[in-house]
Amino acid sequence: MFADVFFVEPWWMQLIKSLVIFLVVFNLVPITLLAERKLLGRFQARYGPNRVGPYGAMQPLADIGKLLGKQQFAPRHAQHFLYVIAPCLSVIAAAGVIALIPFGPTVDIFGTETGLYGIDVSIGILFLFALGAVSFYGLMLGGWASTNKYSFLGAMRAAAQLISYEAAQGLALVGVVITAGSLSLVDIVEAQAGMWYFIPQFVGFIIFLIAGFAESNRPPFALPEGEAEIIGGYATEYGGGRFANYYMAEYLEVVVISFLTVTLFFGGWHLPFGIDPPHWVDPIVVIVKAIFFIFFFIWIRATLPALRYDQLMSFGWKVLLPLAMLNTLVTAVLVVTLN
Partner 1 sequence: MSNVSEYRRAEQAVDVAEGGGITTQPLISQEMTEWGGDQELLSINLGPHHPATHGVLRLLTQLEGEVIRDIKPIIGYVHTGIEKTAEQKPYWKVIPVIERMDYLAYYFNAMAFCGAVETLLELEVPKRAQYLRVIHMELNRIMSHMVWLGTSALDVGAMSMLFYCFRERDNILDIFEMSSGQRMHTRYFQVGGVMEDIPKGFEEKVRAFCRRMPKAADDFQALLSKNEIFLHRMRNVTPLDEKTLLELGVTGPLLRAAGNPWDLRKAQPYSSYEDFDFKIPVGTKGDNWDRYAVRIAEIYESVKIIEQALDGLPEGPHIADDRKVVLPPRHELATSMEALIHHFKLVTEGFRVPPGEVYYPIEGPRGEYGCFVRSDGSSKPARVHMRDPSFVNLQALAPMVRDSYLADLIATLAMLDPILGGIDR
> Which residues sit at the interface with partner 1, rule CB under 8 A?
40, 43-46, 149-150, 153, 219-220, 222, 226-231, 301-311
Instruction: Produce one character per residue of 272-283: b if its CB has 16 or more CB atoms within 10 Å, e if not.
Output: eeeeeeeeeebb
The C-alpha angle with vertex 166 and arms to 324 and 321, in degrees rounded to 5, equals: 25
Is-contact 80 128, C-beta < 8 A? no
CB of 46 to partner 1, least distance (A): 6
Quote the CA–CA distance of 161 and 77 in Å, as a whole number.
26
Which DSSP string corresponds to 71-89? -----TTS-HHHHHHHHHH
Peptide bond before residue 220 is cis, with ω within 30 degrees of 0: yes
CB of 159 to partner 1, least distance (A): 13
CB of 174 to partner 1, least distance (A): 27
Cβ proximity to partner 1: between 129 and 152 the closer is: 152
CB of 157 to partner 1, least distance (A): 8
Cβ proximity to partner 1: between 219 and 268 the closer is: 219
CB of 219 to partner 1, least distance (A): 6
| Cα–Cα distance list, 117 to 31, 276, 325 (Å) | 21, 19, 31
Nearest to 278 by CA among 105, 25, 99, 23: 105
Cβ proximity to partner 1: between 145 and 264 the closer is: 145
Cβ proximity to partner 1: between 58 and 306 the closer is: 306
Cβ proximity to partner 1: between 40 and 88 the closer is: 40
3-state percent breakdown (helix, strand, coil) of the chain, nearest 5: 65, 5, 30
Nearest to 297 by CA among 243, 263, 259, 271: 259
Which DSSP string corresponds to 107-148? EEETTEEEEEES---TTHHHHHHHHHHHHHHHHHHHHHHTT-
Q: Which residues contact 147 (CB under 8 A, 6 or more apart)?
A: 75, 77, 78, 79, 237
CB of 190 to partner 1, least distance (A): 38
Cβ proximity to partner 1: between 171 and 312 the closer is: 312
CB of 231 to partner 1, least distance (A): 6
Cβ proximity to partner 1: between 27 and 44 the closer is: 44
